[in-house]
């Protein structure tokens, strides 16, 4: 293997720190720049069409310093598509510019465009919804297509970005769907599953479904979500329109980003331009920590620069408010730190989080990986807590395994660990936490608490597998208890879209079975079932109430570990299956105390409160900001499989 990049001289000679990679357009010149230090020649092909026909012109690029090739096109090239014919070691291949800002259909050719013309009216000066602290976030994880594809969604632009801009949509029973439904729910951030250009959906007919974790063009909006995938400008306008509409409706927008691997390996655009540079290899083989065929080498300077440039491009050009890093553990710590400082210069309230794990063996030393265990080196970045996820419902890898909220009380310490947002707390026995033997979050803002996401079974389906003996009512109680724990815990709560409506993905082949990782399953499995909303209004109202309550109680959104240690006190275990704790007032404002009780047992339990005269806001049936009833003495009875929150 030719590891040419390994010498520090090579990196020094070939690292380019300019901000002008890709196309720089004006109405009289367009400058193209691409980094390809090992190439012997590059020619630009210019096309009138985004996918078919021969080039109408070609332009030989000039080699500059630092591995850069450039071409200056005189005249107005707006709307012209282009590719690079790059020759390395005598072989010539046609590649799309990794910095392309738009493409034709199916991402085959880059587009030169005037980005100013893609701005909706008022977009450059629009304002974002207020957001003071990361722990104020409530994140809703949504796939563009899932939102609207059902027959009863009431949404016109089915499967499109614009479907999420439609307000006032209803199902046939007159209940809110789509964006209006999400507004009712009251989340603060909408996390969109991959919306950059991915490879697996044929954009001309959109006949298949995919989650989109198979990157093709990182700085381009996915064409199948656009109303016209042939005209690269349309998707840019439509995504900006979506972001603006979501901002106007009080939401911040998070993009799921997948820099850890590319769909193609040998013939990816990266590898055509600079063979072997962008990926880690073990011997002659591409390493595969992503379990998707390759892994990018973020520790190499121009790969790192690409990731930082791409994130900051989305943040600046599209006003994106947050990024979720797929398999963040594949990336090196230094890269993630530099991403944080780069977005801080744009907007420090941009939220960053990721999966603090890997999908396979990785040659990068464990100490350098952006893993959950290394979060102490990544302030300002959060990781998903699989500890609380599986602590609540059982391992995602063992369908019939129960968790604390579904009947295995042995997992209580993992839930307590989630309650304190994976931070240090003197009342937690870390040896009993399922996946972590020590706190991994420096502050609660580094911990994403959740019980379901797009991966694995939905929460409702997981309960179906692990609680086969239970009737519907009991399963609903377990689902509600899971949600109540996530939304009352310290840290950042996150839910999969539809969890608030008992989302389910029943198999079409086997009755009683469910689809686990539905990444390429048909729409009928994946889509949100608005036609079922009327049947689950009780659950929906409960989620809505939990979110409302959380937003009103600063005690549930503490900012520091020190504050949690000082104010949050676990009460002695009175009965197996019960977790109870107090959160004392902050001492600065109207001094209220919260008492939070989780009863996962099948029996009603009597809990002794430290004082008398409490008001209940959340119980097994209802949640919200209106008082439900008072508890006069010091004994409170908590229903089987339920959460109770009292305030004094």
Active site residues: 326, 355
Q: How far is the first Cα of the chain from the last one, in angstroms, to the nearest whole number?
A: 68
Task: Name which of 197 and 355 has its Cβ closer to Ca ion.
Answer: 197
CB 567 within 8 A of CB 558: yes
Q: Rounded to the nearest whole angstrom, what is the least distance from the CB of residue 109 to Ca ion in the complex?
A: 13
Q: Rounded to the nearest whole angstrom, what is the least distance from the CB of residue 224 to Ca ion in the complex?
A: 6
Task: Name which of 197 and 499 has its Cβ closer to Ca ion.
Answer: 197
DSSP 281-312: EETTEEP-TTSSS--B-TTSHHHHHHHHHHHH
Token pair 């073990």 is found at: 282
In terms of C-beta density within 10 A (0-12 exposed, 13-18 middle, 19 or more buried), how is residue 53 classed?
exposed
Task: Name which of 197 and 332 has its Cβ closer to Ca ion.
Answer: 197
Tell which residue, 134, 123, 136, 117, has the closest CA to residue 76: 117
Task: Name which of 97 and 197 has its Cβ closer to Ca ion.
Answer: 197
Q: Rounded to the nearest whole angstrom, what is the least distance from the CB of residue 30 to Ca ion in the complex?
A: 24
Helices and strands (H and E) in the chain: how many? 14, 29
φ/ψ (deg, to 5) at 146: -55, -35
Q: Rounded to the nearest whole angstrom, what is the least distance from the CB of residue 233 to Ca ion in the complex?
A: 16
Tell which residue, 361, 411, 453, has the closest CA to residue 139: 453
- Residue with the shortest CB distance to Ca ion: 197
Q: Which residues bind Ca ion (CB under 5 A)?
A: 197, 223
CA distance 498 to 488: 19
- CB-CB neighbours of 197 under 10 Å: 28
CA distances from 599 to 405, 545, 640 (A): 8, 19, 6
Complete edge-to-edge strand list for the sheet that includes strand 62-63: 22-25, 29-35, 68-74, 62-63
Task: Name which of 218 and 384 has its Cβ closer to Ca ion.
Answer: 218
CB 108 within 8 A of CB 117: no
Q: Rg of the chain over CA atoms, in angstroms?
A: 26
Structure tokens at 230: 């042939």
Task: Name which of 197 and 554 has its Cβ closer to Ca ion.
Answer: 197
């Amino acid at each position: 293997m030719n590891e040419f990049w390994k010498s520090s001289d090579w990196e020094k000679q070939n690292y380019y720190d300019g901000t002008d990679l890709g196309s720089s357009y004006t109405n009289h010149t367009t400058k193209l720049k691409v980094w390809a230090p090992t190439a012997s020649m590059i020619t630009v092909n210019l096309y009138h069409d985004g996918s078919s026909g021969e080039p109408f012109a070609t332009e030989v690029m000039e080699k500059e310093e630092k591995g850069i090739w450039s071409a200056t096109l005189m005249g107005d090239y707006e709307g012209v598509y282009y590719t690079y014919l790059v020759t390395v070691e005598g072989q010539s291949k046609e590649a799309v510019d990794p910095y392309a800002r738009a493409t034709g259909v199916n991402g085959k050719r880059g587009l030169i465009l005037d980005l100013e013309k893609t701005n909706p009216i008022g977009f450059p000066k629009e304002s974002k919804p207020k957001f003071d602290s990361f722990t104020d976030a409530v994140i809703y994880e949504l796939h563009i297509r899932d939102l609207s594809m059902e027959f009863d969604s009431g949404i016109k632009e089915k499967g499109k970005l614009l479907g999420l801009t439609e307000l006032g949509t209803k199902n046939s029973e007159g209940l809110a769907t789509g964006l209006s439904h999400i507004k009712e729910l009251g989340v603060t951030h909408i996390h969109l599953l991959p919306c950059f250009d991915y490879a697996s959906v044929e954009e001309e007919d959109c006949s298949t479904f995919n989650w989109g974790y198979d990157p093709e063009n990182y700085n381009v909006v996915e064409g199948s979500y656009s109303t016209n995938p042939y005209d690269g400008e349309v998707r840019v306008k439509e995504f900006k329109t979506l972001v603006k509409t979501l901002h106007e409706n009080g939401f911040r927008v998070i993009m799921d980003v997948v820099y850890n691997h590319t769909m193609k390996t040998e013939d990816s655009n990266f590898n055509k331009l600079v063979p072997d540079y962008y990926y880690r290899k073990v011997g002659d083989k591409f390493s595969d920590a992503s379990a998707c065929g390759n892994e990018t080498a973020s520790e190499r300077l121009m790969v790192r620069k690409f990731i930082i440039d791409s994130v900051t491009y989305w943040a600046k050009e599209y006003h994106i408010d947050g990024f979720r890093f797929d398999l963040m553990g594949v990336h090196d710590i230094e890269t993630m730190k530099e991403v944080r400082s780069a977005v801080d210069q744009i907007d420090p309230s941009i939220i960053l989080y990721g999966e603090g794990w890997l999908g396979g063996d990785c040659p990068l030393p464990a100490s350098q990986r952006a893993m959950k265990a290394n979060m102490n080196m990544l302030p300002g970045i959060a990781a998903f807590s699989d500890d609380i996820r599986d602590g609540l419902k059982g391992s995602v890898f063992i369908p019939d395994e129960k968790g604390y909220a579904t009947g295995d009380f042995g997992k209580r310490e993992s839930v307590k660990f989630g309650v304190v947002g994976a931070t240090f707390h003197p009342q937690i026995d870390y040896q009993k936490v399922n996946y972590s033997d020590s706190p991994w979050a420096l502050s609660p803002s580094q911990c994403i608490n959740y019980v379901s996401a797009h991966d694995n079974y939905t929460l409702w389906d997981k309960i179906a597998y692990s609680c086969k003996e239970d009737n519907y009512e009991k399963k609903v109680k377990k689902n509600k208890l899971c949600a109540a724990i996530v939304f009352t815990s310290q840290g950042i709560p996150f839910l999969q879209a539809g969890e608030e409506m008992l989302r389910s993905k029943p198999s079409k082949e086997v009755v009683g079975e469910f689809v686990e990782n539905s990444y390429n399953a048909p729409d009928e499995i994946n889509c949100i079932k608005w036609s079922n909303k009327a049947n689950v209004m009780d659950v929906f109202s409960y989620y809505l109430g939990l979110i409302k309550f959380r937003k009103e109680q600063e005690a549930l959104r503490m900012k520091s570990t020190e504050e949690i240690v000082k104010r949050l006190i676990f009460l002695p275990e009175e009965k197996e299956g019960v977790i109870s704790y107090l959160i004392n007032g902050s001492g600065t404002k109207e001094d209220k105390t919260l008492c939070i009780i989780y009863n996962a047992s099948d029996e009603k339990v009597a809990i002794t409160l430290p004082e008398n005269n409490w008001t209940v806001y959340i119980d097994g049936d209802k949640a919200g900001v209106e008082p439900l009833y008072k508890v006069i003495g010091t004994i409170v009875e908590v229903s089987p499989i339920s959460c109770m929150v009292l305030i004094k």
